[in-house]
Each structure stands twice: as C-alpha cells, then as structure tokens.
A and B are shown apart, each in its own frame.
Chain A
Amino acid sequence: MGLPISPPPAAPAGLLDRFAAERVTGALSGPHGCFYFLDGAVYCIESTAAPGLGSRLTAAGKVPPQGWEYAAEAAGDRRTGGRFLVEEGWLTQGELEICHLAALLDAAFFALPLLPGATSFTPGTAHWLGVIRPVSTTALLQATARRRALLDRLQPWAAADTSPVIPVGTRIPAATTRRQRRLLDHADGRHTPYELARALGESAFATLLDIRLLAAAGLVQIPPPPTPLPRRRPGACLDGAPAPAAVEHTAPVRQLPLPDVFDTADPTIALLVRLRTALEEEL
C-alpha cells in the first residue's frame, strides 16, 4: 500500500461543511446527484451514475420490483419507506441499514465534488425512504477520498470506464476474483461498466475498479487511442523498448507499475513518476 499516488484533488468541501455547521435540513441538488440532509448530517444520496437502494434490492431478489414501487407509494408524506420494507418482511433492519449505506457511499462517489454555483437547495425537503442511518459530512468526504485514491492508482486504465466491456480470451485461465468473474460473464461487448453495475444492482464504484483491474491484467480490451501514437510500456527501458511499429497491430499491453520500483520516499522521484504517468495518459 506504499505506492506513491498523486494526492486526491482538494475537495471543495466548503458547501458540505457549511451545511453541517448550520445543521440544515433539506435537499441539495448538484449536477451529478442529490443530497438529503437532516440537522447537517447526510442520510440519503441519489446519483444517476450509481444504482440506488431499489436497484440493489430488486436485482438481488430481496424485494419484488412491484413491492419497491408499492413501498414508494405507501410511504407517501410520512417518509417511512425504509421501515415499510422491513415491516413487510423483505429484509432485516441490519440489511436495510447496510444496503442503504452502501448505496449512499456509491452515490456520494459520483455526486462529489459539489461545485459552488451548480447546486440548488430546497429547505425542508425529505426523502420518502426516511432517515435510516445518517453519516457526518466529514466521514463522507474522507470515505470518498479513500475510494478516489484507490481508483486513481489505476488511472492509466481509465479509458475502460466508459467503453463497452469486451473480455479478452486468454489461453491460460487467469486468476480473477468472484466479482470479476461475474463481470466477465455478463460482459457482452455492448454494455459499459456503468450499465453492467446497474443491470447487476452492484456498486458502480466497485465495478469501475474491477474493470480497470481487469484491463490492467489484459483481460478486458482497452479502446484504442484516437490517434495511433506509439505507446510506451510503463517500466520499460528506453534502450530495450520494442519498435512502436512492431506492436501497433496488437492490443496495447499495459502493466501495473511494480510497487517495489515505485515505492520511494524520495519526493523528486515520486514527482517524476507522477509526471511520467501523466504524460503516458496524454499518449
């Protein structure tokens, strides 16, 4: 875990911090999601990029789809949709809390950072699910920053985020985790990681992370760059690098940086590594 990574962008946390300090209650809409506050704590987040509680529970077969719609209607103005799901016997209180927090964290990742000027606040507005387990804005920002650092470590494979997932057949069975195998099983060459996450009712963040790992392992195709510039293999030496023309017809092979090579306390070397990574992304 000692890999030097570029620090996450300074989170423009001002807005959330202010809301926490002022203990506001209401809904804050941003370009990528909507935050619901109670007394300055966040208790629900919705983002179009991440599957919500309903998608997760219905995809897992915990709640029938019509049951979810019924819960939304039944909750009405009383804002007790979460309690209704438990009272119907579809899930335990523990499952409701865990699934709700998982959905909230996932949505936060895509809804943050909030840019001032691109948001609108409606005081008093509440979510129909009700308050299940609020999270402090500080904890939410820290959790999101840690997730971003995990994904940033695989930045060279970011092109795989938004392209259809095309598995690469390998002769040797590759070592993959269960999640990754499920993703590969469902990848049909047409759907992007976001669409797969929605169809499977799984975390969009975890799906992006797994697809980038699979791309890094050469198990998922990376879309070719718009111009066929030669790619340099990270870690390769200048004198030993193969001629660009020789590798042009094959899919670019990219490797994870070797941790023992990059694990350095020297800030100059760390800066050079970051610069090189940034330059490679430009290729």
Chain B
Amino acid sequence: MAAILLDPLAAIGRATLGACRAVGDVALFALEGVSHLVRPPFYGRLFWRAFLEVAWFSLPVVALTAVFTGMVLALQSYTGFARFNAQSAIASVVVISLVRELGPVLAALMVAGRIGASFAAEIGTMRVTDQIDALTTLSTNPMKYLVAPRLLAATLALPLLVLVADVLGVMGGWLIGTLKLGFVSAAYLKSTFDFLQTGDVISGLVKAAAFGFIIALMGTWCGYRSKGGAQGVGGATTAAVVASSILILALDYVLTEIFFAQ
C-alpha cells in the first residue's frame, strides 16, 4: 500500500533530479563551448561551413515563412481593424509585429527544425560511431572542433536571417495591402516607416542572436550526449528540436519583458 502511494512521488523525484542534472549539464556545456571561442586554435573553415549552413541554406525556408506571415498578418489585421474603421493602423501593426516578435520567433523555429536537427544528427552519429573519441585521440578537443564553431555561427547568422525575414515580411504585408486591400503604396510604406523605431529592430536582432545560440546549444548538446545507436541519434534529434523550440518561446517572453515591460 505504501509502495503504491510512494511510487508516483519517487517518479516525480527522479524526473526532477534528472531535469536538474540536465540543466546543470547544459549550463556547463555552454560555458565550455563559449570558453573555446576565445582560446586558440580556431577552426575558421568549420565556422564558415556552419555559418553557410545556417545563414544561406536556411534562407529559402525563412524567406517563405516571412513573406506568408506578412501577408496573413495584413489580411487578418484588416479583417479585425475594419470593424473599428482603423485600417490605417494595418501597416504599423504588420511592421511592429514582424520586427519585434514574429520575425525572430518564426525564423528561429524554422531554423530550429532545420539546423538544430541537423547539428544533433551529425554530432550524434559521430558520437555513436566513435568519431568523437577519434577526435580526442587525434589531439583535437571535440568541444572546440564541433561545438564552438556552431555556437558562433548560429549566433551570428540568425540576426542576418531575421533582418531578411523582417524586410520580406513587411513586403508580404505591403503586397496584400496594395494589391488586395486597396492601400496606396507610398502611404502604406510611409505608415510603416513612421511607426518603426530603431529599438524595435535592435530588440528583434538581439532576440535572434539569443535564439541562434539556443538552437546551436541544444542541437550540439543533444547530439554530443546521444548514445545507443540509430535510435539514440533519432531521440537526440527530436529532443534538440523540441527543447530548442520550447526554449525559444520561453526566452522570447523573458526578453520581451526585459525590452518592453513598463
């Protein structure tokens, strides 16, 4: 009887301890990864390869997401604002929503699915096929070789992607505004730029950098700690995408509180 009562408590206790261990491990992993960014040797080729992978090859998916989001946002805003004769606010709503929130968050979620999974799968496969041990025996620190370049690449690449996403998202809104909703192009653009402030763009780019770091961190950590063959690598890939997506949303709230809470 006592066992029946205590079993769920024990399970909760185990899960809590496991979560604490994981948080501590991720924190130490992140510290070690960052510390290798300031200590030679530096692997420039690996950084550029990762940067290209994140920034260039993610561009199509991020661009499409941004354009359609801008278009949908303009349509939805029009539907709602027309009830209050506030259609003139659509351009400002589109640009503020995109630059502050939707641009960074949606771009990061897209990149998490693409790059977080790719980092976890590649490093996880290296782990289960002894390639990470081989790096160590070849006098190469795996954290410096595999983790640090990816952390830096994703942290720098995401703001660039978000900048592109912001422009394309506003363009999507402008297309719908002028072609479908009957706005005058110059008036729509004037309204857009009148409401946009430098702080909005900067806050979005800072968020993007933080999200890029989180994506690379979770992807490399899940891959680095994977074990158990193909199933382990699959699990690591899933965990990387899920964990980075949730952390992106949670961090978005925290950063929004920091930037915009009165």
Are chains A and B native binding partners rather than an unrelated pairing?
Answer: no
B→A interface (CB under 8 Å): none
